[in-house]
Structure 1
Amino acid sequence: MLYAFELSGEHPEIPAAEVLSVLSPRGLEYSVHEKYLSCIVVDVYSNDPAVTDDDIFSMMCNVMPDVLAMTHAISKVIEIVDVDEEMILSAAERFNAADYLGENETFVVRAKRLGDNSVLKSVDLEGKIGGRIYRQGFRASLKNADVTFRLTLTDKAVFGVLAAAVDRGAYEHRSPQKKPFFYPGVLMPRVARALSNIAGAKDGSIVVDPFCGTAGILLEAGLLGAKVLGVDAQEKIIIGAATNLGGYAQSTGLLLSKEERENGVDQIDYDLFVGDACGLPFDDETADVIITDPPYGRSAAIKAESLEKLYDESFKEMFRVLKSGKKAVVVSEIEVENFAENAGFVIKNVYKQRVHKSLTRTITVLNKN
């Protein structure tokens, strides 16, 4: 079954990579049908005969919206046609609305333009498509519809049924300045969540961050259900990380009340250590996932004798601690491929993210084969 994922414009590659990374860990198979401007269409299926199309649709409705950070909406595709009014309306005429609507269910049609599709007016299309569904015997409801039909206008017109809209605003509640312990210069929650997904963090996995700082990455991985382990050289930072990890409900990502924190209700499963990333306090092959944002600059180099030594030895430790066949994701301001390959990693992907005029992040995805 084809699903369309409307992507954010935060990066040309990372949003699509995040989508593809979350499927296999949750028992789903996929093949990319097509990539469009700000939209990827994926054929999603299962090799397990017990998993039905309805089960997959339920996952798209109820699981993926809480997992994905760089997706705006998910739709089950009915048909893909050229961005042409006549072809779009013909598609709306052809499909059987009873396949998607119960006898007494109501519907609404919503159109979303991605990029420059000003040649077509979304509101006009919504009304014309709605009229065709109405003539099949179904009632419209603009406010409380049971089913939303979605028309996504990108390089093609993707007509489908909306499975879910992602509440990206939830990540704003966990922005650095709103956390119980604030420290500047950390990754924004949406980026940390996307990288957690790309690395393979999920319910039951063990995630290690050797340079955890105030736990921005570990928080997002923990909200996916992972057991998270963090190391930092500064005790005051570890105390702040514990405050942040202990401050949010694992099930909702919202701040816990004082009473809930004191009673340990619905907290993330974590352990933190004051230590050295060049000598991690973990056994070989402890981690299912490693995600980290190592320090850079003069202060980091002074503490570790040199920045080169810090990166060289910490990458070797990451390789030792990570399980075979698993992934590490490293965020840095410098190129790290040589350090990674010297440690034994295989480079899978390298993404560049321009943060502002003087800062470009390098995001390196590594495999331990």
Structure 2
Amino acid sequence: MLIAFELSGEHDTIPASEAIACLESLHVDFKIHLKLDGCLVIELKDEAYRTAHALSKRLSMTHHLMIVLGIGGATEEDILDTVSRADIRLDGTYSVRVRRIKDCSKVDTGSMERRIGGIYYQRGACADLKNPEIAFRVLLTGDKSIFGYIVASVDRGAFEARKPHYKPFFYPGVLMPRVARALVNIAKPEEYLFDPFCGTAGILVEAGIIGIKAIGGDVQRKLLLGAKMNLDYYDIDYSLMYQDACRMALCDESVDAVVTDPPYGRSAAIKAESLDDLLTGSLSEIHRVLKKGKRAVFISERKIEDIAEKAGFRVIESHLQRVHKSLTRRISVLEKNG
């Protein structure tokens, strides 16, 4: 069975990476069928409905998960042909939505929705836009159209409710919850996730909400107190430590995932003598405490690939996130050599 992820458009590469990492974390038997702009289609051998619902509870940069009924061309006649040939019996109510991915199609979506709706109306089904029994969806991306129905959706409003300024303790310059959750998912934690520069615990909160035990450290006591307030507010299972990230109080190979956003010199106290020392020392310590074959997601303003490789990591992915004209985050996904 084919499942389509309708990816969010807030980043070019992170949404697909998050979806694939979540599938791997859930030990799902899958293979990539199509990787398109704004849409990832996988072939799934496991139970599709259960898997889709489990994914919807973890993902942040996906809108909907769809059971794919057909894949065709992107012209109006191609779309109607794909819909007409779809193998599905419909006795109840339905809705139809057509979405252009990044305006890559010139198809009139409203007209297309009416024409598709007419196909099922002629087959005896009734339209219900407010509470349909089945919600059909067409994604138009490049020269392809993906037709299917929604089986699960991500509650993106929950991430909005956890924006930093809504939390008990606020400090500027932190990651937004959707980004933090996506990076947690990309790190593929199993039991514990560690953030050695935890700040106000935005990353740890997102890890804890999906059932991961959160461990954090920081050299600023004020931020640790704020982190405690935020973690308690969301009832997270956590441990916090006052510590220097270049001299961590953790045993060798004791955590199975690391996600961290170091201060990299921005209006924050750095205990190391220089930013270079901080990057070198913290990456060395992260490598020490991380289990073999596991991932660390490290955010920086500068390239850290050479430092990471000298510490013993393999760089498996890199993502760029432009925050504003003077700040672009470099997100490096690292793996400790087994």
Q: Normalising by structure 1, what TM-score? A: 0.87
Q: Does 1:4 align with 2:20?
A: no
After superposition, the Cα gap between the structure-2 partners of 1:234 and 1:157, relative to the gap in structure 1 and judged at 3 Å, is: same
Instruction: Tell me which residue corresponds to 1:66.
Output: 57
Q: Does 1:244 align with 2:230?
A: yes
1:201 touches 1:224 (CA, 8 Å); kept in 2? Answer: no
Counterpart amino acid of 2:103? D
1:300 touches 1:307 (CA, 8 Å); kept in 2? Answer: no
Q: Aligned match of 1:123 in 110, 120, 125?
A: 110
Shift in Å at residue 59 of structure 1? 2.5
Instruction: Tell me which residue corresponds to 1:361.
Output: 329
Q: Aligned match of 1:286 in 254, 261, 264?
A: 254
Instruction: Tell me which residue corresponds to 2:298.
Output: 330
Q: Aligned match of 1:56 in 48, 51, 56?
A: 48
Aligned partners of 2:246, 2:281: CA distance in 1, in Å? 5
After superposition, the C-alpha distances for 1:50-101 in whole angstroms (9 at most, x for unaligned) are: xxxxx322321x2222211111222111111111122221222222331xx4
After superposition, the Cα gap between the structure-2 partners of 1:301 and 1:189, relative to the gap in structure 1 and judged at 3 Å, is: closer
1:111 touches 1:151 (CA, 8 Å); kept in 2? Answer: yes
Q: How many residues align?
A: 336
Aligned partners of 2:63, 2:155: CA distance in 1, in Å? 8
After superposition, the C-alpha distances for 1:328-354 in whole angstroms (9 at most, x for unaligned) are: 000111221122112111111121111
1:150 touches 1:160 (CA, 8 Å); kept in 2? Answer: yes
Counterpart amino acid of 1:37? D
Q: Aligned match of 2:196 in 179, 197, 210?
A: 210
Instruction: Tell me which residue corresponds to 1:49.
Output: none
Q: Does 1:83 align with 2:70?
A: no
Instruction: Tell me which residue corresponds to 1:339.
Output: 307
After superposition, the Cα gap between the structure-2 partners of 1:149 and 1:224, relative to the gap in structure 1 and judged at 3 Å, is: same
Q: Aligned match of 2:130 in 143, 146, 153?
A: 143
Counterpart amino acid of 2:81? S
Q: Aligned match of 1:157 in 121, 142, 145?
A: 145
2:69 touches 2:87 (CA, 8 Å); kept in 1? Answer: no
After superposition, the Cα gap between the structure-2 partners of 1:315 and 1:89, relative to the gap in structure 1 and judged at 3 Å, is: same
Counterpart amino acid of 1:110? R
Counterpart secondary structure, 1:225: coil
Q: Which runs of 5+ in 1 are unaligned?
A: 47-54, 249-266
Shift in Å at residue 165 of structure 1? 2.8
Q: Does 1:200 align with 2:188?
A: yes
Shift in Å at residue 301 of structure 1? 7.7
After superposition, the Cα gap between the structure-2 partners of 1:177 and 1:292, relative to the gap in structure 1 and judged at 3 Å, is: same
Matches within 5 A, 1:222-241: 222-241=208-227
After superposition, the Cα gap between the structure-2 partners of 1:318 and 1:130, relative to the gap in structure 1 and judged at 3 Å, is: same
Counterpart amino acid of 1:337? E
Instruction: Tell me which residue corresponds to 2:154.
Output: 166
4+ residue segments displaced more than 4 Å: 298-302
Counterpart amino acid of 2:147? F
Q: Does 1:95 align with 2:70?
A: no
Matches within 5 A, 1:33-52: 33-46=33-46
After superposition, the C-alpha distances for 1:199-230 in whole angstroms (9 at most, x for unaligned) are: 1135xx10001111110111111111100000
2:220 touches 2:269 (CA, 8 Å); kept in 1? Answer: no
Instruction: Tell me which residue corresponds to 1:14.
Output: 14
Aligned partners of 1:137, 1:217: CA distance in 2, in Å? 49
Aligned partners of 1:221, 1:124: CA distance in 2, in Å? 43
Counterpart amino acid of 1:12? D
Shift in Å at residue 117 of structure 1? 5.1
Aligned partners of 1:26, 1:162: CA distance in 2, in Å? 20
Counterpart amino acid of 1:207? L
Aligned partners of 2:172, 2:268: CA distance in 1, in Å? 16
Aligned partners of 1:25, 1:214: CA distance in 2, in Å? 26
Cα RMSD after superposing both structures:
1.7
Aligned partners of 2:258, 2:293: CA distance in 1, in Å? 12
Shift in Å at residue 164 of structure 1? 2.3
Instruction: Tell me which residue corresponds to 1:106.
Output: 93
Matches within 5 A, 1:177-192: 177-192=165-180
Q: Which runs of 5+ in 2 are unaligned?
A: none
Counterpart amino acid of 2:59? L
Instruction: Tell me which residue corresponds to 1:268.
Output: 236
Counterpart secondary structure, 1:334: coil
Shift in Å at residue 298 of structure 1? 7.5
Counterpart amino acid of 1:36? L
Aligned partners of 2:307, 2:37: CA distance in 1, in Å? 35
